[in-house]
Every structure is written in structure tokens, then in C-alpha cells.
Amino acid sequence: MIGYTLLGLIVAVVAYAIWAYNALVRNKNLVAEGWSGIDVQLRRRADLIPNLIETVKGYAAHEDKLFRDIAELRTKSIAGGTVAEQSAVGQAMSQALGRLFAIAEAYPELKADANFRDLQDKLAQTEDEIQMSRRYYNGAVRNLNTMIESFPSNLVAKQFAFEKAEFFEIGDAAARDVPKVDFKTR
């Protein structure tokens, strides 16, 4: 009787180890899939930027430094890198594009240009897709990291050298701050 109990316990432990290993592999692959989604959207944004720059250049040629900065950020984005590096480049790119759109506000004929509006709409749609991809990726990272840190799956994770993944976070600490609203009249 003790032999069957011991055999049953061993079978249960082995079955759990197999399940935990497969779950860790599945979560690791979901993280890779999530990163791939972010990468696709970052490339799409990088592909739209030269067209947007050329359209704006015709109206605001004197903004050469901003155009060079955006081109440099685009190159860094295409080059890839770690999650933290891509996050920092993405944050800087969003700020630079914000400055570009602020410049466009000063040129009513540019804002009326159909090509510019189309590019602006595509870029806005791409930014939304990047945000959705980030959420998916971060959810997959959360699930993987939870399994790696939770007992008893952490034993399997440690045995097979699974490593925690890095979240895709906002690079600018000021962007995380809650805005202050003051309704007092002075």
C-alpha cells in the first residue's frame, strides 16, 4: 500500500512538473509574441515618419533640427534593442512627433493638406496599436513572471533557467504623475 501511495505521489509530482514546464514555455512564447506585435507597430510608425517629414518640410523647412532628431530616433527604433531601450526611444519619438504636430498647427495650409491629414490619421492609429500591443505584452510578461516567482512552479522555472521578462514601461517619470487640478480662483 505504501508503495502505491509513493508511486502515486511521484507520478503527481512528475505530472505537475511537466504541466508547469509547458505553462512556462507557453507564457514565454506569449511574451515573444507580444514583443513581436510591438515591434511590428514600431516599424509601421518608423515607415510612416519619412512621408510625414517630407510633407511638413515643404511648409516648415526651417525646422531642420527637429527633422534630424526625428530621423535619428527613427534609426534607433529600427535598430531594435532591449525592451528598456525601445521604451526610451518610443517615449522620445512620441515627444518629437508632438513637437512636429505643434509646428503643423502654425501652418493652416498644411493642416488642410489631405496627404498630411491622412498621414496624421495613420500615425494616430499606429500609436493606438502600439498602446494595445504594449498592454498585451505587459500582460504576457506579468503571467510569465508570476509563474517564475510562484511556488511550486518557481522550482521548475529555476531548474530549466527561465528568466523574468522586462515590462515595457513609460520612460518619462513625469508622464506617470497624476495631474494636479486646481479650481481655486485667484
> For the segment 117-148, what is each residue's pLDDT rounded down to a tens digit?
888 888 889 889 999 999 999 999 999 999 99
C-alpha cell recorded at residue 133: 500591443
User: For residues 112 and 16, what is the distance between their CA atoms, to the nearest angstrom?
Assistant: 62
On whether the CB atoms of residues 144 and 164 are closer than 8 A, the answer is: yes
Which residues, including other chains, have CB under 8 Å from residue 111's CB and lie 6 or more apart? 104, 105, 117
Q: Looking at residue 102, what is its pLDDT?
A: 83
* pLDDT at position 184: 57
Phi first, then psi: give them for residue 180, nearest 5 degrees. Answer: -90, 130
The C-alpha atoms of residue 9 and residue 3 are separated, in whole angstroms, by 10
pLDDT for res 179: 47
pLDDT in the model for residue 25? 96
Prior bond of 152 cis (ω within 30°): yes
Q: Which residues of the chain have pLDDT under 50?
A: 175-176, 178-179, 181, 183, 185-186
pTM here? 0.74
3-state secondary structure of 178: coil
pLDDT reported for residue 161: 94
* The C-alpha cell that represents 3 in the structure block: 508503495
